[in-house]
Amino acid sequence: PRSILQWNVGSHRDISHESLSLFRLLEPRIEILVLGTGDRVERLHPATLMQMRECGIAVEVQDTANACATFNFLMNERRIVAAGLIPP
């Protein structure tokens, strides 16, 4: 079901295996996590991305404006998707 949850992340530096645990708990299990890192695309630690892939969740990192558009596109395709968005 559609939900809005508080994600306690202030910047891309706060994105970690622990902060992403929220997305691993969602039911139904998400296929794709779209992360919006603010005004620009920020690099995340490769181990963090690998841990999500090992859980069966693809991660797409974009600036927040494009992340919103990608999320809406994937929702329109009826994909099981979530977004973690940091305001620009």
**Residue 69 maps to which CATH number?**
3.40.1230.10
Main-chain dihedrals φ then ψ at residue 45, nearest 5 degrees: -60, 130
Predicted TM-score (pTM) of the model is 0.92
Specify the number of domains making up the chain. Answer: 1
Q: How far apart are CA 23 and CA 35, in angstroms?
A: 11
Q: Residue 51 falls within a domain, yes or no?
A: yes
Report if residue 34 sits inside a domain. Answer: yes
- In a domain, residue 20? The reply is yes
Question: What band does 14 get if pLDDT is binned at 50, 70 and 90?
Answer: very high
**Domain-located, residue 25:** yes
53 domain residue, yes or no: yes
Residue 7 lies in a domain: no
Residue 1, in any domain of the structure: no
- Given pLDDT bands bounded at 50, 70 and 90, which one contains residue 19? very high
Domain assignment present for 4 = no
Judge contact between 35 and 67, C-beta under 8 A.
yes
- Please give the C-alpha separations between residue 87 and each of 3, 16, 80, in angstroms, as whole numbers: 18, 18, 23
Which pLDDT tens digit goes with each residue over 35-84? Answer: 999 999 999 999 999 999 999 999 999 999 999 999 999 999 999 999 99
Torsion angles phi and psi, residue 34, rounded to 5: -100, 120
Q: What is the residue range of 65's domain?
A: 12-85
